Amino acid sequence: MSPSEQHAYDSARFADLVASAGAEDWERPSPVAGWTALDVVTHLVEWSRGFLQGSAGVDLPPLDVAADPVAAWKTHTADIQALFDDPAGRMVSNPHMGDKPLDVALSEIYTTDVWMHSWDLARALGQNFDLGADRAAAMLAGAAAMEDAMRASGQFGPRFEVPADATPQEQLLGFIGRDPYWRA
């Protein structure tokens, strides 16, 4: 899939999860320590908008995720998809990733974050979520090559040990510090 298609696909899967939540579900704990289901959605909306403003000069209006997570996610996804569909030669300039075309940078960090946090939101809602064995294995291989930098960032917890015969998804989740068997 192209970066635009991958974002559309992953964002739609996440939107399905958001839409499946009832009002009472938003305060449910998630596998991310200290985060609720609502915090997962809020994180994806707020950090990406801040990142785009600070690294690419793209000013997207703030959204009130808590007031209506479904509407906020729908608006947010449309805003980001528009950037994928017409990057207009924009660049991201960031000390952690250097200078990259906007759609490439979004694909590398944002779409991946939506994909991974889909599992977090699904688990918070008591659902299962299949990250896809091939994609999980590829992500794990790439992440393992930069494990020291990832751990130093503070964005990932200590490795959660999984059995030797764990699936690629379980291995990836354990690698990033999630308990792949977590239940609310």
| 184 vs 7, more confident | 7
- Domain 3-129: CATH superfamily is dinb family like domain (1.20.120.450)
pTM over 0.85, yes/no:
yes
For the chain, give every domain's residue range: 3-129, 131-184
Confidence of residue 21 (pLDDT cuts 50, 70, 90): very high
**Of residues 46, 54, 141, 135, the one with CA closest to residue 97:** 54
Give pLDDT, residue 38. 98
For the chain, the straight-line distance linking the first and the last C-alpha, in angstroms and rounded, comes to 33
Confidence of residue 94 (pLDDT cuts 50, 70, 90): confident
